[in-house]
Structure 1
Amino acid sequence: PRHGEVIAIYSEVTTLGRQADNDVVVDEPPVSRRHSAIVATVNGYYIRDLGSTNGTFINRRRIFNDEFPLAHGDLVRMGGSDVTFMFQYSGAKTVRISKVDPPIDALIVDAKARQVFVRGERLDPPLPRKEFDLLQLLNSRRGEAVSRDDIAGHVWAERPDGDVGNHEIEQCVHRVRVRVEENTSMPQHLTTVRGFGYKLD
């Protein structure tokens, strides 16, 4: 779909993805062939991720396989693409989505291509492996607090004994913040959960 294009929703199930037989085709590399579906029920409209590689995000929060309720004005983003839809619902017969610009401060992580986009610009040079692994872990659980133990086990998987100090984790977090935050002393994306770990907003 083109920017600003409005797509009416009539079916009980509307599929979105890269494959040509979807109801809404999003031909972007980070989007899975069969990415997500909007489902109409007697209680309203829901969206479901269909096991996509890079996830489905509602208002920047990642959803998983369960159906997630949609409300008027919700922003739907698919994977690490910069394609964002706004869900518009003002009555039983006026349901639509329209392609809009992503939020200007969006932080997008493309797991498959191992690329990161900040405010629409791709990070170049790309993040080193451990920094990307940290960011991707937080992105896969976006909006949730992730413990230091989980971070250590994922980013330093080559150390099965868990011998990873807090200082190493803090330094890795700092290096990511230097690349993705405008002000590292007041981070807007990668925030600290005191006494526990970190969270990606």
Structure 2
Amino acid sequence: MPAGPAVLKFARGLPPSKQFGERLRLLVIQGPEKGACFSLIGDTAYIGRDGCQISLNDGNVSKRHAEVHWTEEGYVVKDLGSSNGILVNGDKVPSATLKNGDLLMIGLTVLEVYSAGQTTRNDRPLLPATARRPVAALA
């Protein structure tokens, strides 16, 4: 029997209730996909451009930019040697455990992290202006 999907994508906003098997939600709050929500239900998902489970239409995102995988502590995001890296709450990191309310920046796209079934936003501001600039120029 084939495995089910690792990610469900909703075109506009957070679904009102927890989706079957959902563990984490990523809501795009800045970038070309603004308003889209990715509901993670599998153990591992890749973030990048076409061909990734979490596909972002952002020229500053690498083809396979980052991996999100399930651990006992929750989902961990890990940079996969991308050109621009990943930022969590404004800090460039090689990897980080994601928590409700965290802001994950990949390319010029900012995703707000929600625990499974959560629809409440934190009052945390967007990333500081210095963190909104690309970390490296793409050739």
Q: How would you bin the TM-score normalised by the shorter chain?
A: 0.5 to 0.7
**Bigger fraction of residues in helix:** 1
Q: Which residue of 2 aligns with 1:11?
A: 42
Q: Please, which of 18, 26, 47 is the counterpart of residue 56 of structure 2?
A: 26
Counterpart of 2:134 in 1: which secondary structure? strand
- CA contact 1:9–1:95 (8 Å) conserved in 2: no
Shift of 1:40: 0.9
Q: Which residue of 2 aligns with 1:39?
A: 69
Give, in whole Å, the separation in 2 of the partners of 1:4 and 1:13.
23
Q: 1:42 to 1:4 in 2, by over 3 A?
A: same
Give, in whole Å, the separation in 1 of the partners of 2:66 and 2:78.
6
Shift of 1:105: 4.3
Alignment of 1:118-197 (within 5 A): none
Give the length in aligned residue pairs: 101
| Residue type at the aligned position of 2:98 | L
Q: Which residue of 1 aligns with 2:106?
A: 78
**What is the RMSD computed on CA atoms of the aligned residues?**
2.4
Say whether 1:106 aligns with 2:106: no
| Residue type at the aligned position of 1:6 | C
**Bigger fraction of residues in strand:** 2
Instruction: Mark the runs of 5 or more structure 2 residues left unpaired by the alignment.
Output: 1-10, 12-32, 120-124
For residues 122-176 of structure 1, the C-alpha deviation after alignment (integer angstroms, 9 at most, x for no partner) is xxxxxxxxxxxxxxxxxxxxxxxxxxxxxxxxxxxxxxxxxxxxxxxxxxxxxxx
Give, in whole Å, the separation in 2 of the partners of 1:95 and 1:12.
19
TM-score normalised over the length of structure 1: 0.45
Give, in whole Å, the separation in 2 of the partners of 1:16 and 1:47.
9
| Residue type at the aligned position of 1:109 | P
Give, in whole Å, the separation in 2 of the partners of 1:95 and 1:15.
22
Structure possessing the higher radius of gyration over alpha carbons = 1
Flag the structure with more relative contact order, 1 or 2, with Cα contacts below 8 A and sequence separation at least 6: 2
For residues 66-91 of structure 1, the C-alpha deviation after alignment (integer angstroms, 9 at most, x for no partner) is x4111100000013x2x10011115x
Counterpart of 1:109 in 2: which secondary structure? coil
Give, in whole Å, the separation in 2 of the partners of 1:37 and 1:61.
17
TM-score normalised over the length of structure 2: 0.63
